[in-house]
Structure 1
Amino acid sequence: MTDPSVADSKHVRSDAVPAAFAGPDTRPAPSNLDESDFVTVREDQDLRRGLHQRHIGLIAIAGAIGTGLFLGLGGSIQTAGPLGALLGYATVGLIVCAVQFALGEVTALLPVTGSFVRHAEVLVDPALGFAIGYNLVYGNCLSIPTEITAICVLFQYWTDLNSSLWIMVFIVLTVIVGLSFIGIYGEVEFWFALLKIVFIIFLILLGLVIDLGGVPGTSRIGFRYWNNPGPFVEYIASGSWGRFLAYWAVMSNAVFSFAGVESIAMAAAETRNPRVAVPNACKRVFVRVATFYILAVLIVGMLVPSDDPRLDDESGTAAQSPFVIAASAAGLRGVPSVVNGIVITSAWSSSNQALLSGTRVLYGLALKKQAPAIFLRTTPWGAPYVCVLFFSAFMFLSFMSLSDGALTVFWWLVDLTACGVLISWITVLLNHWRLIRAMKKQGLSLSRLPWHSKFTEYSTPAALVICVVILFTAGFPVFTTGNWSASSFVSSYLDIPLVITAYVAWKVYKRTSIVDLSEIPLEEALERAVGDVELEKEHPLWRRLVGILWD
């Protein structure tokens, strides 16, 4: 069942990774690596490598632009004001840049499917890999119905048809893509990513035109709403403390908006020349964040006042989207529907990405005998169909939106998902921090890494501390007077005890230990990496400039 391209390409051979990840070709892996030496060989046999450079580059952008930006931004502006929301998204944007750089450095050295889950096994503790693996399975089980619920919210803007119709349609479409050849998924995400790029650029330009009075019959807005009602909104408390709490309150929304960027390396072993392709996509994230998110948040803050009652529309439809509000106010009747349609495709694209990430992690867990062997079954074209069917069952959680406000369910799932995303980011940063420490302890120069930036030696520990603080304070409103909510508390913090329980349980069951920095097989990994990098082709200047935004 092995893809012929596997045999022909030196960049996807099973010996292109350390012994801890490779098949039984050189030496047995240490006992505390939990049989992960079996993974790559089986993946080469069962899975197909259908992702190319253009796929992985666009998937990175597809992961960075999701429904959180479109549905969550209005609530952030209302909670923190235009400047508070801008600072909140900028803070999380810098964290995302640190996470992507850390992920790129580790993946360039260890390009394996499962990404930071398997990195954690070798760099930190096999029990952590087990816990984070199931955390990702759990998180993606929730992410998919979150996106489908968002689709229901968006369709309510157009029609009163029962939401169950749209739920079933998009469940079927998502399952079809999940069961298809990986190359088909790559093509779907490629074109949806292009659509997202064109759309967000269109919204930014349209917002500037509206703000500067370029639409006939509308006056120039400028920074009017920054003066009245003001750049900040007080939240819970008053004065400077209240403005700070408002800024901090948008963190969960911002984290959810960026959810998915860490999944770029999940299919590293299913990507040609991953030591170059994955870091290339990771290192461009800063420009993408600055262009697509920060500008979008800035423009929306200029177009819609934070006290606009439409941002708190209780109908729970896309009418409360700040982009729709701004276009409607300018008399552009067709724009709201275009916005709605594009965001629906964005939501479906995000659900496809969550399904790919979740199925690959679950398949990897089954390979290591940490999940039932039935999840190893694949189609003749390499799709892990039992894993897909497992996630399909959880898609029906989106029917919860029929018995309650769809937007209420959406926000429950946002909180649950944001907590899991933060834990994943913490793992990525911890892996990289351990790699840097291990390199120094073993007397290895950091310049020997296939890809390294001096910036990451400082950004990783700083981002790690901030992520931990956000994780434990994201649900702070429930602890203030008169704001207790059992559902909010559970959705904000449920994931933390789940991960700790999984970690402790596997640690006790397998008697694993934290890997000693001196025992991590870095020398062998570095030697293998030297001969396993295909140099990039020299492209014209115009193409390199365009490649800053997409590959």
Structure 2
Amino acid sequence: MFTKEKPNTDLDYTEGNDNIDIEASTPNHASDSQHASKSLNRGLKSRHVGMFSIAGAIGTGLLISSGTALSRGGPGSMFIAYSFVGALVLNIMSALGEMAVYMPMDQGFSGYASRLVDPAFGFATGMNYFLKYVVLLANNLTASGIIMQYWLPDINVAVWVVSFAVPIIIINFAPVKYFGEVEFGAACIKTLTIVGLMILCLVIDLGGTPQGRIGFRYWKNPGAFKEYLVDGPTGQFLGFWTSVTNAAFAYMGSEMVGMTFGEASKPWRTIPKAINATFWRISFFYIGGVFCLGLVVSSSSDRLIDATKASTGAGASPFVVAITDSGITVLPHIINACLLIFVLSAANTDIYIASRTLYGLSKDGYIPSVFRITKRSIPVFSVGLASAFFLLALLNVNSASTVVFGYLVSLSTILGLLNWVSILISFLSFQQGMKAQGISRDALPYVGKFQLWRSRITLFFTALVILTSGFASFIHKFDATTFVVNYVGIVLYIFWFLAYKLLRRTKFVGFKTMDITTNIVTKQYIQELENAQAD
């Protein structure tokens, strides 16, 4: 039986180990010994990954774009939509966790797609993820400049873009433990900010301000479920569905903690903790946050509608609308300062994720091997190329270019949703491979309950959100621009897959020949390792 075989004891997961090399031998991926290098250092401690999983995706998506869901769908639709998409995200993280604990890899999501589905699928996944985060890097740096203009409106955004980009790039060239410490501190600030805003919303709702007690007033008038685009029940459903789409964008990046798994010490302990933290983050911060918001802000507020059209800054947040309505005058400045920390943390993370994605693509042989060369366990050329994309932020200096840049940001969200699809397809293929090779799920160190069916259902709804994300372009009058922005990502995804498959003539990984026995971690291996350390 597989579970009784002695695992690969060459694996060394001691904290700070520079020599770990977890690499699957996938077909059609030749390695270049000339550029062979050490793998990434597992320098991220459990508290780093744990806090990163709690607050890593908390940002302007929750603090700002939630206003769009509220104004279009109403508080009831927003609450249900965020709960629904939160369940999908939890299922995705649990599926990723099963693979990551059993087969720790530092190639990121593309590594699992290559090893478990098809090398061409891995290439499409990696390209999607890389482009998503380099575009978001530029967007977050631009956001930091606009936030600074809240206080210093006469200074050009480009000055702040360069000023903030330099220290962020330096952090990413430092050993990963410093990145972990910086993000740990930022995550603590994020957590305190969200908790503070939730408490403040409850105080406002219960009558702790001159405005008086609100209760569920806004759920009754204008109502919990608003009509969007058309009247009647159909309009209410469209209001709910646009809230679902908005919630998917707000949750975007929740899976990026998975990119830290390749540099996490003792992954069989660290990763399950991160998965559990995801559950509490979704339940408390996202669902709790939008519930509190729906209590204190009317979905028909004119300022809320204006805020959903703003790019960023304190005035764009629906939480600031609630604070302003309550008569509090100082807090908007504090919220603006917190938003600045949020976007700079996001920009720092964007370089990290993009560079590790490049490293994974290089390690799997998709791009030149120079991108997997490491110095002090940092993929220096990958970090350098990812960092260079901060120059895209300078497009926003020209107001005409801002429109085009906005299209790129919309494209990045679709690419992110497609990455969720890639994770789920990789996991379902992994499960089929285990079944075909007679490997029991009992061998897995981490197992999600009903994970197979949860993944299938999540894949269906994620694909449905992608396919219907541009539904507004079909209502009343066809909007070609909205249609292209929402669906061109699908075309690119298919193009990358087919182009690589035709050029390299790759084959789908067979379930019976799938490599799910190399560099693995089983329950037996963990027990043997812990016994050896105890001795």
Give 1:308-319 correspondences, 5 Å limit. Answer: 308-313=301-306, 316=311, 317-319=313-315
Match of 1:9 in 2: 14
Q: Quick one: structure 1 residues 462 and 350, their matched pair in 2 at CA, closer, same or farther if it must change by over 3 Å?
A: same
Match of 1:51 in 2: 44
- The 10-residue stretch of structure 1 (165-174 or 188-197) with the greater mean CA deviation from structure 2: 165-174
1:433 matches 2:434: no
User: Is 1:82–1:226's contact at 8 Å kept on the other side of the alignment?
Assistant: yes
Match of 2:5 in 1: none
Match of 1:541 in 2: none
1:277 and 1:527 map into 2 onto residues whose CA distance is 14
1:257 matches 2:285: no
Q: CA deviation at 1:13?
A: 8.5
Q: Quick one: structure 1 residues 136 and 255, their matched pair in 2 at CA, closer, same or farther if it must change by over 3 Å?
A: same
Q: Quick one: structure 1 residues 139 and 322, their matched pair in 2 at CA, closer, same or farther if it must change by over 3 Å?
A: same
1:38 and 1:372 map into 2 onto residues whose CA distance is 12
Give 1:167-206 correspondences, 5 Å limit. Answer: 167-206=161-200
1:387 and 1:225 map into 2 onto residues whose CA distance is 49
The residue type paired with residue 348 of structure 2 is N
The residue type paired with residue 479 of structure 1 is F
Q: CA deviation at 1:342?
A: 0.8
2:431 and 2:94 map into 1 onto residues whose CA distance is 13
Deviation digits for residues 8-56 of structure 1 (CA, Å, limit 9, x no counterpart): 8399697885xxx25xxxxxx46x25247989x956x153332111111
2:33 and 2:224 map into 1 onto residues whose CA distance is 55
The residue type paired with residue 139 of structure 2 is T
Match of 1:337 in 2: 333
User: Is 1:67–1:150's contact at 8 Å kept on the other side of the alignment?
Assistant: no
- RMSD over aligned Cα atoms: 2.7
1:212 matches 2:206: yes
User: Is 1:38–1:368's contact at 8 Å kept on the other side of the alignment?
Assistant: no
Q: Quick one: structure 1 residues 7 and 460, their matched pair in 2 at CA, closer, same or farther if it must change by over 3 Å?
A: closer
1:209 and 1:409 map into 2 onto residues whose CA distance is 41
Q: Quick one: structure 1 residues 70 and 87, their matched pair in 2 at CA, closer, same or farther if it must change by over 3 Å?
A: same
1:79 matches 2:72: yes
Deviation digits for residues 62-96 of structure 1 (CA, Å, limit 9, x no counterpart): 32312111121112111111111112211211110
Give 1:450-469 correspondences, 5 Å limit. Answer: 450-469=445-464
Give 1:113-128 correspondences, 5 Å limit. Answer: 113-128=106-121
Q: CA deviation at 1:343?
A: 1.5
SS of the aligned residue for 1:266 comes to helix
The residue type paired with residue 370 of structure 1 is Y
Q: Quick one: structure 1 residues 518 and 530, their matched pair in 2 at CA, closer, same or farther if it must change by over 3 Å?
A: same
2:54 and 2:470 map into 1 onto residues whose CA distance is 29
1:38 and 1:252 map into 2 onto residues whose CA distance is 46
Among 416, 420, 429, the residue aligned to 2:411: 416
Match of 1:305 in 2: 298
SS of the aligned residue for 1:434 comes to helix
The residue type paired with residue 487 of structure 2 is Y
Among 103, 107, 110, the residue aligned to 2:96: 103
1:14 and 1:530 map into 2 onto residues whose CA distance is 23
1:295 matches 2:295: no
User: Is 2:16–2:41's contact at 8 Å kept on the other side of the alignment?
Assistant: no
SS of the aligned residue for 1:50 comes to coil
Among 273, 279, 298, the residue aligned to 2:272: 279
Q: CA deviation at 1:347?
A: 1.1
Match of 1:150 in 2: 143
1:397 matches 2:377: no
Among 437, 453, 469, the residue aligned to 1:442: 437
Among 376, 380, 383, the residue aligned to 2:378: 383
Match of 2:359 in 1: 363
1:243 and 1:386 map into 2 onto residues whose CA distance is 50
Q: Quick one: structure 1 residues 495 and 351, their matched pair in 2 at CA, closer, same or farther if it must change by over 3 Å?
A: same
Q: CA deviation at 1:191?
A: 0.6
Match of 2:7 in 1: none
User: Is 2:44–2:265's contact at 8 Å kept on the other side of the alignment?
Assistant: yes
The residue type paired with residue 191 of structure 1 is G
Give 1:225-240 correspondences, 5 Å limit. Answer: 225-240=218-233
2:358 and 2:13 map into 1 onto residues whose CA distance is 28
Q: Quick one: structure 1 residues 366 and 445, their matched pair in 2 at CA, closer, same or farther if it must change by over 3 Å?
A: closer
Q: Quick one: structure 1 residues 223 and 117, their matched pair in 2 at CA, closer, same or farther if it must change by over 3 Å?
A: same
Q: CA deviation at 1:391?
A: 2.0
Q: Quick one: structure 1 residues 325 and 290, their matched pair in 2 at CA, closer, same or farther if it must change by over 3 Å?
A: same
Match of 1:539 in 2: none
Give 1:125-140 correspondences, 5 Å limit. Answer: 125-140=118-133
Q: Quick one: structure 1 residues 64 and 455, their matched pair in 2 at CA, closer, same or farther if it must change by over 3 Å?
A: farther
The residue type paired with residue 363 of structure 1 is Y
- The 10-residue stretch of structure 1 (250-259 or 206-215) with the greater mean CA deviation from structure 2: 250-259
1:175 and 1:190 map into 2 onto residues whose CA distance is 17
1:123 and 1:399 map into 2 onto residues whose CA distance is 39
TM-score, L = length of structure 2 = 0.89
1:508 matches 2:508: no
Unpaired segments of 5 or more residues in structure 1? 1-5, 23-28, 537-551
SS of the aligned residue for 1:519 comes to coil
The residue type paired with residue 84 of structure 2 is T
SS of the aligned residue for 2:66 comes to helix
Q: Quick one: structure 1 residues 184 and 12, their matched pair in 2 at CA, closer, same or farther if it must change by over 3 Å?
A: closer
**Number of residues of Structure 1 aligned to a counterpart in Structure 2:** 516
The residue type paired with residue 9 of structure 1 is T
User: Is 2:13–2:266's contact at 8 Å kept on the other side of the alignment?
Assistant: no
Q: Quick one: structure 1 residues 408 and 340, their matched pair in 2 at CA, closer, same or farther if it must change by over 3 Å?
A: farther
Match of 1:34 in 2: 29
1:409 and 1:155 map into 2 onto residues whose CA distance is 23
User: Is 2:395–2:402's contact at 8 Å kept on the other side of the alignment?
Assistant: no
User: Is 2:443–2:522's contact at 8 Å kept on the other side of the alignment?
Assistant: no
Unpaired segments of 5 or more residues in structure 2? 1-10
1:440 and 1:424 map into 2 onto residues whose CA distance is 25
User: Is 1:62–1:189's contact at 8 Å kept on the other side of the alignment?
Assistant: no
1:183 and 1:172 map into 2 onto residues whose CA distance is 19
Q: CA deviation at 1:124?
A: 0.8
Match of 1:353 in 2: 349
Q: CA deviation at 1:489?
A: 2.5
- The 10-residue stretch of structure 1 (523-532 or 60-69) with the greater mean CA deviation from structure 2: 523-532
1:15 and 1:8 map into 2 onto residues whose CA distance is 7
Q: Quick one: structure 1 residues 312 and 403, their matched pair in 2 at CA, closer, same or farther if it must change by over 3 Å?
A: farther
Q: CA deviation at 1:485?
A: 4.1
